Amino acid sequence: MAKYMLIMRPTEESAANFTNIDFAEVLNAIGEFNDELIRAGVLLAAEGLDDPNSGVVVDFTGETPVVTDGPYGETKELFAGYYILDVASQQEAVEWAKRAPLTAGSKTEIRRVPSIDEFPQDNKWVQKERAWREQTGQL
């Protein structure tokens, strides 16, 4: 099994389509999808994100970080939420993503989340993180 992150990316089209849908319908559709993930035993985490206008951006392109009010860039550079699934393969993650109840025009990026076991185990920071994960029941 491996962890995969499904990153929900709105587009101009999907954002416009979203405004035409009753929010109760959205919650119901997402709730049913989440329930499927839970019953299948693959859901590790899932969160939606607040409106990008309420966020801030910390920009490290200069000598010192600059903080500005959100949103950052264009809609195509934002993401609206994520799932972390524990599945057997990237293809299984793709199959789940294809079933997500997203509005027309949405995109989902899928990326594998490396395990701590894939990092050099003799590194003191990896060792500290491993100890923390063990202490908090994450390993």
The domain limits of the chain are: 2-50+78-135
Q: What is the pLDDT of residue 72?
A: 64
Q: Amino acid identity, residue 35?
A: D
Helices 23-40 and 90-99: angle between axes, nearest 10 degrees: 150
Q: What is the pLDDT of residue 33?
A: 94
Q: What is the pLDDT of residue 105?
A: 79
**Buried b / exposed e along 39-52 (16+ C-beta atoms within 10 A):** eeebbeebeeeeeb
Q: Which residue has the tokens 């990008």?
A: 52
Q: What is the pLDDT of residue 32?
A: 95
Q: What is the pLDDT of residue 95?
A: 96
Taking the domain 2-50+78-135, which CATH number applies? 3.30.70.1060
- Walk across the sheet containing 2-9 and list its strands: 43-48, 81-87, 2-9, 107-113
Q: What is the pLDDT of residue 128?
A: 96
Q: What is the DSSP letter of 49?
A: -
C-alpha span between 112 and 89 (Å, rounded): 9
Parts of the chain with a pLDDT under 70: 71-77
Q: What is the pLDDT of residue 113?
A: 94
The CA-CA-CA angle for residues 99, 105, 107, to 5°, reads 60
pTM: 0.82
